[in-house]
């Protein structure tokens, strides 16, 4: 018979391996500082170039969306997993007018790499090419951890 601890560990590894962002297996909150930074300035050029290549107008940087993105990137870094938990509430607090969208990623070393990764995923690509006017992007990581990225788009 498999122990509960081994079962939970196996389930957590399976969730991480499959890239499921909404997995509900309990994962510990990591101790130590988390460093978050707004990255909209670094990401807006590649995002708007991608939109221009597809015949779309550029997005404007938005401070409220950028702060919401940073807070959520820090949340994910503390937990060590991707998540869209609380998206609607975050967008309301940021003053976003729906519809709105969110892209999350983990492991990319810079904003360019995050934008490229999103552009190669059908759902994330659809968000970046959506009918939105504003964008906020941020990254966060804990000491020795992987970077977590969040992009939020809204009108």
Report pLDDT digits (tens) over 112-132.
Answer: 999 999 999 999 999 999 999
Query: In this prediction, what percent of the chain has a pLDDT beyond 70?
Result: 79
> Does the structure show a pLDDT above 60 at 38?
yes
What stretch of H or E contains 150? strand 148-154
> Tell me, what's the pLDDT at 31?
65
> Does the structure show a pLDDT above 90 at 142?
no
pTM exceeding 0.85: no
> Does the structure show a pLDDT above 70 at 69?
yes
CB burial string 45-70: b at 16+ within 10 A, e below: ebbbebbeeeeeeebebbebbbbbbb
Mean pLDDT of 30-38: 81
Span 45-58, pLDDT tens digits: 999 999 999 999 99
What is the average pLDDT score of the chain? 84
> Tell me, what's the pLDDT at 8?
37
> Does the structure show a pLDDT above 70 at 35?
yes
Output the six-digit token pair for 44. 């807006």
Contact 87, 15 (CB under 8 A): no
């Amino acid at each position: 018979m498999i122990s509960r601890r081994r079962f939970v560990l196996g389930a957590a590894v399976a969730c991480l391996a499959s890239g499921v962002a909404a997995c509900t297996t309990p994962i510990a909150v990591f101790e130590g500082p988390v460093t978050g930074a707004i990255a909209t300035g670094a990401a807006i050029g590649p995002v708007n170039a991608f939109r221009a290549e597809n015949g779309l107008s550029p997005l404007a940087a938005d401070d409220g969306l950028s702060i919401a993105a940073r807070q959520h990137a820090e949340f994910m870094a503390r937990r060590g997993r991707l998540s869209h938990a609380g998206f609607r509430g975050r967008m309301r607090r940021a003053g976003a007018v729906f519809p709105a969208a969110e892209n999350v990623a983990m492991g990319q070393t810079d904003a360019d790499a995050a934008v490229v990764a999103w552009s190669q995923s059908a759902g994330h690509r659809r968000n970046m090419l959506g009918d939105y006017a504003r964008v906020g992007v941020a990254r966060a990581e804990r000491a020795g951890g992987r970077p977590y990225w969040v992009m939020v788009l809204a009108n």
